[in-house]
Amino acid sequence: MNMEHLGTNNAQRELEKNLLEYKGQLSSEVRIQLLDLLKCIALLNLGPRSDLKKLIGIALELLDNAQRYNARNDVDFRWHIADGQLVVTITNTASSEDARRLMEAVRAIERMSPEDITEAFKRQLLEEGFSEKGGAGLGMLQIARKVGKNITAEIKSLRPDEYRCTSTVSTTLDQTKNQP
């Protein structure tokens, strides 16, 4: 028996069990369907946890941002759990202004302490009004409250006013959050 091959198969099965990937158009209906699917997947694979909605909330905020600021409505979304870590990645296109704002938001978070993040979140919550596209300016701060600075963003120019934006959020799954 080829043990190396068996090991690869097991690893592949483990990967498949904990991976959700979606590539395609993103609409409100797709977003809610993905949310429903994630709720099932997270509960089945992680079991009941007190932070389950927080974890799903990371994906929800990234999908929200991608839908709101997407230049073409298509998205590449990935939810992956491996080695006790959840990694959520989303790629979408955006205008240069929106891409720049994404980078600024992530860089600002990198400079903040956990207390700064909480304070910035509260300040933004109290700020009146929404952006032209309906954003509250809270999404990345909300994620940062959950995962700290484990947020990265990359942008790549596609055309003069179009960028490909990739945001990645990772968090270690805290075993103390497991519920009986």
Partner 1 sequence: MEPLHIATTRNTPMVVFLPDKATFRLVGNSIPENAGSFYAPVVTWLQQHLSDIPTPCSFVFSLPYFNSSSLKALYSVLVEIKKGIDQGKEFEVNWYVEDEDEFMIEAGETYQELLGMKINLITGDPAP
Yes or no: say if 71 and 95 are a contact pair by the CB < 8 Å rule.
yes
- Minimum gap (Å) between residue 91 Cβ and partner 1: 19
CB closer to partner 1, 14 vs 174: 174
Query: Which of 89, 92, 142, 171 is in the footprint of partner 1 by CB under 8 A?
Result: 142
- Put the strands of the sheet holding 19-25 in their side by side order: 19-25, 74-82, 85-94, 162-172, 151-159
Quick one: CA torsion of 24, 30, 31, 36, rounded to 10 degrees? -120
- Minimum gap (Å) between residue 21 Cβ and partner 1: 21
φ, ψ of residue 138 in degrees (nearest 5): -110, -20
CB closer to partner 1, 2 vs 28: 28
Pairing of strands 74-82, 85-94: antiparallel
Q: CA angle, 151 as apex, 148 and 154 as ends, to 5°?
A: 160
Query: Which of 30, 51, 74, 87 is in the footprint of partner 1 by CB under 8 A?
Result: 51
> Is residue 126 at the binding interface for partner 1, with CB under 8 A as the rule?
yes
- 67-106 positions binding partner 1, by CB under 8 A: 67-68
> Is residue 165 at the binding interface for partner 1, with CB under 8 A as the rule?
no
Query: Which of 30, 35, 108, 112 is in the footprint of partner 1 by CB under 8 A?
Result: 35
> Is residue 148 at the binding interface for partner 1, with CB under 8 A as the rule?
no
- Minimum gap (Å) between residue 14 Cβ and partner 1: 27
Q: CA angle, 121 as apex, 81 and 62 as ends, to 5°?
A: 35
Q: Quote the CA–CA distance of 35 and 51 in Å, as a whole number.
A: 16
Query: Which of 14, 125, 152, 172 is in the footprint of partner 1 by CB under 8 A?
Result: 125
Q: Quote the CA–CA distance of 53 and 160 in Å, as a whole number.
A: 38
Provide the binding-site residues for partner 1, judged by CB under 8 A.
Answer: 28-29, 31-32, 35, 48, 50-54, 56-57, 60-61, 64, 67-68, 122, 124-126, 129-130, 133-136, 138-139, 141-142, 177, 179
